[in-house]
């Protein structure tokens, strides 16, 4: 990795840390991303992916509050 790449990564990390300074904003960020991560994983494993159904299951099981 070059020094420029390392510097960009450090800047990106610093920006992310500043935007999620408290636990509530961090939790919100994860809630907004978790469905996409699960769908990407299922797609990678060649599983059928239905985001609407996934939302319903997570809401039913109360795994991700606020959906």
Question: Residue 7: what pLDDT?
Answer: 95
Share of the chain above pLDDT 90, in %: 16
In a domain, 3, yes or no: no
- In a domain, residue 5? The reply is no
Q: pLDDT digits over 2-31, tens only? A: 999 999 999 998 988 888 888 888 888 877
**Of 41 and 3, the one with more pLDDT:** 3
**Would residue 39 count as lying in a domain?**
yes
Number of domains observed in the structure of the chain: 1
* Residue 43 counted as domain residue: yes
Nearest to 28 by CA among 40, 19, 15: 19
Residue 66 belongs to a domain: yes
Note whether residue 26 is domain-resident. yes
State which residues form the domain around 59: 22-67
Q: What interhelical angle do 23-44 and 51-61 show, nearest 10?
A: 130
CA angle 61, 45, 13 (to 5 degrees): 75
């Amino acid at each position: 990795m070059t020094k420029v790449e390392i510097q960009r990564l450090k800047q990106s990390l610093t920006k992310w840390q500043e935007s999620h300074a408290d636990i509530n904003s961090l939790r919100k960020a994860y809630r907004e991303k978790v469905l996409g991560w699960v769908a990407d994983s299922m797609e990678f494993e060649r599983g059928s992916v239905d985001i609407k159904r996934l939302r319903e299951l997570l809401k039913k099981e109360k795994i991700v509050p606020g959906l």
